[in-house]
Amino acid sequence: MKERIAITGMGIVSAIGMNAEENLLSLKGSKHGISKIKHIDTTLKDNILVGEIKKTNQELEEILGLSSPNNFSRSSMFGAIAAKEAILDAGIETKENTSIGFINSTTVGGMDMVERFYDNFLEKEEYQHYIEVHDAGSNTDLISEYLGINGFVTTISTACSSAANAIMLGARMIESGRLDQVVVGGMDGLCKFTINGFNTLMILSDTFNQPFDENRKGLNLGEGAAYLILESEKSYKKRNKKPLAYLGGYANANDAFHQTASSEQGDGAFLAMKNAFEVAGMKPEDIDYINAHGTATPNNDLSEGRAMVNIFEGKVPQFSSTKPFTGHTLAAAASVEAVYSIFALRENLLFPSLNFKENMKEFDLTPQLILEEKEISAVLSNSFGFGGNCSSLIFVK
């Protein structure tokens, strides 16, 4: 890496809290956010558990001070809340600041509003303003406008690894001298489209998700948004800002195995971790904690577990999946977990993998089961998605 990429702010909304502080308290207290669906009208509501944010759209509008009607989807309201927190945390100005960028990511964009009015759009003019925010980028644009960012803005969609790739691009934009400060992360709200899509794939669990457990039944979908502020050395030093942590390394690779499934040995995952170590100039033994992708689907945990065993040559460091707390927040997952990784560094804490009972028979891997205090100087965070997309990030003190 050419220069150290600092993280100078973060913000998050998830099923376990509407800001960073609340999320940390829930993690420390082993308080998960998984429950039955309350705010989305789906016929599947009695069949599945989700990590839902316990706020109606109207309550979210009130938090943001939005007037009605507006074009905000549930996802973009989460995005605006979390990004605003990150910017405040970093203490940076957005207005008149041309060296700040915004790299967002999402899988659903405005789908929640589109599916709600889909059949009535042509007849009911009062709903038509939601048509133009169907596409992902228009949702990013709404948030940019809300935050007052007028510069380099883009959106990434690589399924469940989206936010990791947003973080990675942010770092590369700084390294290539194109930006000094950049808001990076992801957002996804629950909607029927996603819930039903995952349901047809038969990877949703009707109970609390159990990553890396022999009897895991699948994932709980979640919703949320999280953002980091990445900053160049020149920029944070100039304003005497103390970074929260640094992005040590990153990598993106493709499994090139199947459109939705991961390869048996986790080739893409292995490659992503390997390349991230290379970029960071680190060795596997430098890692103190892994925040695993750990979705609790039979397929993911097997291939990710194998990839971890392979890359760490059997000596896998302490690891956990925090998805039993939040559910799988899809595009937001990697930034949600980036925030948790930074908590781990800052608080010197290992967070537990909830709901775990029994080791998988394919390998001898037991996730971290209790909250533990321990000096942590480097965290590896994995995120993998459909389309073979695999990304790994390394956060350091």
Partner 1 sequence: MERCYINGMGCISGQNTFEGDFLENPIDYSKTNIIHVVKPDYKAFIPPAAIRRMSSGVKNSIVASTLAMDEAQVKELDGIITGTGMGCIQDSEKFLDKLIGFNEQYLTPTSFIQSTHNTVGGQIALKLRCTAYNFTYVNTGGSFQSALLDGLIQVKNEGKNNILVGGIDEIAEYTHKLYQAIGHIKEDGEADYNILENRSKGSVAGEGAVFFVLSNEKKESTSAEVVDTHIINNLKVNGVNGFIGDFLQHNNTKLEEIDAVILGNNGDIDFDLYYDEAEKLFESSKILYYKHLFGDFMTAPSVSVWLASNMLKKQQIPNILYKIDKTRSSKPLRNVLIYNQYRGKNHSLILMKNV
Among 153, 219, 247, 393, binds partner 1 (CB under 8 A): 153
Q: Does residue 68 bind partner 1 (CB under 8 A)?
A: no
Q: Which helix (H) or strand (E) holds 13?
A: strand 5-13
For residue 269, the minimal CB distance to partner 1 (Å) is: 11
Q: At 313, phi and psi to the nearest 5?
A: 50, 45
Which residue, 143 or 336, is less far from partner 1 as judged by CB? 143
For residue 138, the minimal CB distance to partner 1 (Å) is: 6
CA angle at residue 269 from 266 to 274, to 5 degrees? Answer: 120
43, 80 contact by CB (below 8 A): no
Piece in contact with partner 1 (CB under 8 A), picked from 6-14, 68-76, 196-204, 337-345? 196-204
For residue 56, the minimal CB distance to partner 1 (Å) is: 21
Closest residue by Cα to residue 191 from 266, 259, 113, 249:
113
Among 93, 145, 206, 364, binds partner 1 (CB under 8 A): 145
The contact pattern for partner 1, residues 8-47, with x = CB under 8 A and - = no contact, is ----------------------------------xxx---
197, 277 contact by CB (below 8 A): no
Q: Which helix (H) or strand (E) holds 323?
A: helix 323-326
261-299 CB burial, b ≥16 within 10 A, e <16: bbbebbbbbbbbbbbbbebbebebebbbbbbbbbbbbeb
Among 186, 218, 317, 385, binds partner 1 (CB under 8 A): 385
Q: Does residue 158 bind partner 1 (CB under 8 A)?
A: yes
Give the C-alpha distances (Å, rounded to integers) separating 5 from 247, 330, 342: 6, 25, 14
Give the C-alpha distances (Å, rounded to integers) separating 99 from 13, 149, 165, 177: 26, 10, 20, 10
The contact pattern for partner 1, residues 281-320, with x = CB under 8 A and - = no contact, is ----------------------------------------
Q: How many helices (H) and strands (E) does the chain have?
A: 12, 14
Which residue, 154 or 318, is less far from partner 1 as judged by CB? 154
- The footprint of partner 1 (CB under 8 A) covers 42-44, 102, 106-107, 109, 111, 114-115, 118-119, 121-122, 128-129, 131-132, 134-138, 140-141, 144-145, 149-159, 165, 169, 172-173, 175-176, 178, 192-193, 196-197, 199-201, 252-260, 267-268, 271, 385-389
